Structure 1
Amino acid sequence: MKNYFLFILVMSSFKMIAQTSVADSLLQIGNYQAAIERYKVGPESEFKIARVYTQMGDVYAALASYEQGFKRDSLSLQPRFEYARIALGNNDPVTAFDKLLKLTTEVPDNASYHYYMGKAYEDLNNDAAAISAFAKAVSLNTSYRAARIELVKLLLKNRKFYKAIQSATIGLNIYPEDIKMNSLIAQSYLGGKRYDKAIAHFELLFSLGNDTDFNRKNLAWSYFNDRQWQLAIVNYEWYNRDYEEGNSQVHFIMSQAYLKLGKLDLAQDYIERSIAFKTPELHQEYLQLATIYVRQEDYKNAFYATKKAKKEKSDNDLIGYQYALAADQYYADKPKKLEFYEEFIKQYPESAFQDLANARAKDLRKEIFLAPKK
């Protein structure tokens, strides 16, 4: 009888193994429902069924199956890790955090646990803790690309440009042509005002075929800030041609670049384009147009451009003062000049330019008083 029961037990085991093997095969060919039915026949199958539901995209059924499994086995690492990842992907960082905190405590040298802990912290809007978690992940596994990318992104977001550059450099030492890492280090150099370094990485991105509007605009901006005016113009022209012709700010910067090169006609052309594209506030553009007119000794048009700037931004005392200066240059009649300074003094009583305006008004009154009477 003893041998009989042993025979039955062995046969039952073989049957369960066969059922599992069949279920595994069904899972591999994507016959998920049939795999689930086969797994249900065997004992301790909750975690396997949960993984099938995960592949099906049925998140809630997967989580429910894991929870059933935890009633039997709450200590196994793999199911707990899988559960945390699903919860994280289901916008439930609190549940994920609870599982991951225990995992990182029990197995502190597992880089992946720290990486997903960082993702949970990020979803909980705790950037400082997320940075620490991602940094721990890459310290445990230097080649952990996903963790390094998240780390550099957060350092960049929080304006920790030097640390972002340091970490991205390590990543690029492993794979120098990594497009994502080159993009992040280029942005970090740009944020840190290391424009020459930013240029090198943006140019590399183009050589790697990563020609995007973001890269083109930032390359042009880097050249502009590196005082390479002509290359800035060339890249902005490519941006206008390939991506966005009507960007007012781009035309404004191009006007500035042409002004730096002394090409006044082109500077005027592009600032007028900027004005045409931009609404509703145009005060900066009109002020630049006025600057160009002054350089051309066209004081009449400089005055009217400044007048338009003041109309756009009437509460700005600097523009108000520049308006008075423009009138001073344009009008020959001293009483007329005085009117504009008196208007400024009255309109902007708290302005830092009050002393200058009062001094000029005083001089004009004296000149008017001393002028020969007709």
Structure 2
Amino acid sequence: MKLLFILTLLLLQLKAEAQTSVSVVADSLYAIGNYSRAINEYSKLGGVSSALQIARSYNAIGNHEKAIKQYQYVIQENAASQLPQLELGKLLLKLKRFEEAKSVFTDLSILNEGNPEFQYYLGEVYKELNQADESLVHYKSAISLDSTHLRSLFQLSKYYTIKQERDNALKYILKGLDYYENDVSLINLHAIVLFNDFQFEKAIPLLERLLEFGEDKDYVYEKLGVSYNQNWEFEKAKEVYKVLLERNDSNSQTYFDLASVYQKESKLDSAKIFINKAMDAQKPIFAQGYNELAGIAHQQKDLKTALKFYQMAHQEDKSNARIYYNIVTVSDQLGSDLGKKLEYYQNFLKQYPNEHPFYYETARKRISELKVEIHFSKE
């Protein structure tokens, strides 16, 4: 009897050692990315932990359906285990199976109410389902559980930046930068918010930092060029536009922006040169070029030439209310026929009834004045 007991112990020890050996081999294969062979070794072991590793291996080689089945088996065997549910939820989110992912992350958030990651991923699911209000609730929940949760802070910052809700955007951007002062994504959003709010002087150091951090992208240079220009730092603006033109000399907007710099410096001949270059690059769309040339003519008090260019610009882009408004006001300055002037303003309101309040109110006011002038001229 004693001998039998000893033999049983020896057999159990040998089996355990064999399993340990297989487990070591399987783990080694998994670690070096030999997933197919790792799956074979894990299959010899059986059990929930091996099934989880098999799920991960299938996921790694892109056999997602088998991975999902293995994750589901593991969860079925141990419903309280959160890690396989988290991995399954991420996989379903990646595969755009959003309703299934929502179910998984909802279960996880019930299992562990204090985990900000689960709230964040619910936010991601609702974002993909185009349910913005719900996604915001969960991102905010993640932050309430962990005020340093960077991905939730970024998503909220990004949402409010896109919506141009300046105060809300800055609230989350600045909160994130308090914890992660060198986070490039948040610095980028901060720069965009200030730029969109016309705070060019404050946007400049942020845009410069982005370049220092290696964000060597055209849109950063474009915003920096505009900011320098608006801040009357003309030489710096020219340097930025020079970089952009070295990268792409067929971008008409860069030429237009450079022309704007020269225009502010009252170097109108140089401005004309770059406007013409912009128009060459912009073929066959000339509306902006004609509009810019009209502006220079206006600045030179050559109203007839300005009107000619505005009319040419309008022929190219009849949807642009500002161009037509300029035609109306210049015609008003040049003309003597009160009836024609009145007709121009009335046509403006008829063709562009929902444009900028300034144009609308100015046109209405001028119509009233012209009607009075016409009345008294008849008397």
| TM-score interval, smaller chain | 0.7 to 0.9
Match of 1:69 in 2: 74
Task: Write the letter of the residue equivalent to 1:207.
Answer: E
Q: Deviations over 1:119-165 (max 9, x none)?
A: 21221122232233233333433443333333322232232332322
Task: Write the letter of the residue equivalent to 1:49.
Answer: I
> Once the 2 structures are TM-superposed, how far is the Cα of residue 103 of structure 1 from its aligned partner?
0.8
Q: 1:265 to 1:37 in 2, by over 3 A?
A: same
Match of 1:272 in 2: 276
The partner residue of 1:163 within 153, 164, 168 is: 168
Asked whether the equivalents of residues 275 and 289 of structure 2 are also in contact (C-alpha less than 8 Å), the reply is yes
> Once the 2 structures are TM-superposed, how far is the Cα of residue 98 of structure 1 from its aligned partner?
0.6
> Once the 2 structures are TM-superposed, how far is the Cα of residue 67 of structure 1 from its aligned partner?
2.0
The partner residue of 1:128 within 118, 128, 133 is: 133
Match of 1:216 in 2: 221
Q: Is 1:259–2:263 an aligned residue pair?
A: yes
Q: 1:278 to 1:358 in 2, by over 3 A?
A: farther
Asked whether the equivalents of residues 346 and 367 of structure 2 are also in contact (C-alpha less than 8 Å), the reply is no
Q: 1:175 to 1:307 in 2, by over 3 A?
A: closer
Moved more, 287-296 or 209-218: 287-296
**What are the ranges of 5 or more consecutive residues in structure 2 without an aligned counterpart?**
351-362
CA RMSD of superposed structures (Å): 3.5
Q: Is 1:297–2:301 an aligned residue pair?
A: yes
* Distance in 2 of aligned mates of 1:215 and 1:315: 29
Asked whether the equivalents of residues 165 and 189 of structure 1 are also in contact (C-alpha less than 8 Å), the reply is no
Q: Is 1:204–2:212 an aligned residue pair?
A: no
Task: Write the letter of the residue equivalent to 1:67.
Answer: Q
Asked whether the equivalents of residues 241 and 254 of structure 2 are also in contact (C-alpha less than 8 Å), the reply is no
Q: Is 1:29–2:32 an aligned residue pair?
A: yes
Q: 1:263 to 1:340 in 2, by over 3 A?
A: farther
Q: Is 1:41–2:50 an aligned residue pair?
A: no
Q: Is 1:95–2:100 an aligned residue pair?
A: yes
Q: Is 1:237–2:237 an aligned residue pair?
A: no
The partner residue of 2:146 within 136, 141, 146 is: 141
Asked whether the equivalents of residues 117 and 133 of structure 1 are also in contact (C-alpha less than 8 Å), the reply is yes
Q: 1:314 to 1:108 in 2, by over 3 A?
A: closer
Q: TM-score, normalised by structure 1?
A: 0.80
> Once the 2 structures are TM-superposed, how far is the Cα of residue 166 of structure 1 from its aligned partner?
2.6
* Distance in 2 of aligned mates of 1:273 and 1:255: 10
Q: 1:320 to 1:92 in 2, by over 3 A?
A: closer
* Distance in 2 of aligned mates of 1:291 and 1:6: 97
Q: 1:165 to 1:67 in 2, by over 3 A?
A: same
Moved more, 66-75 or 308-317: 308-317
Match of 2:19 in 1: 16
Moved more, 90-99 or 144-153: 144-153
> Once the 2 structures are TM-superposed, how far is the Cα of residue 85 of structure 1 from its aligned partner?
1.0
> Once the 2 structures are TM-superposed, how far is the Cα of residue 61 of structure 1 from its aligned partner?
1.7
Task: Write the letter of the residue equivalent to 1:109.
Answer: G
Asked whether the equivalents of residues 303 and 330 of structure 1 are also in contact (C-alpha less than 8 Å), the reply is no
Task: Write the letter of the residue equivalent to 2:316.
Answer: E
* Distance in 1 of aligned mates of 2:188 and 2:93: 27
Q: Is 1:83–2:88 an aligned residue pair?
A: yes
* Distance in 2 of aligned mates of 1:187 and 1:161: 10
The partner residue of 1:249 within 246, 253, 257 is: 253
* Distance in 2 of aligned mates of 1:21 and 1:165: 51
Task: Write the letter of the residue equivalent to 1:35.
Answer: A
Task: Write the letter of the residue equivalent to 1:194.
Answer: Q
> Once the 2 structures are TM-superposed, how far is the Cα of residue 298 of structure 1 from its aligned partner?
3.0
Q: 1:347 to 1:160 in 2, by over 3 A?
A: closer
Task: Write the letter of the residue equivalent to 2:29.
Answer: L
Q: 1:299 to 1:24 in 2, by over 3 A?
A: closer
Q: Deviations over 1:221-252 (max 9, x none)?
A: 23344x42625742552354233333333433
Task: Write the letter of the residue equivalent to 2:178.
Answer: N
Asked whether the equivalents of residues 225 and 241 of structure 2 are also in contact (C-alpha less than 8 Å), the reply is no
Q: TM-score, normalised by structure 2?
A: 0.79
Task: Write the letter of the residue equivalent to 1:126.
Answer: Q
Task: Write the letter of the residue equivalent to 2:38.
Answer: A
* Distance in 1 of aligned mates of 2:215 and 2:30: 39
> Once the 2 structures are TM-superposed, how far is the Cα of residue 203 of structure 1 from its aligned partner?
1.4
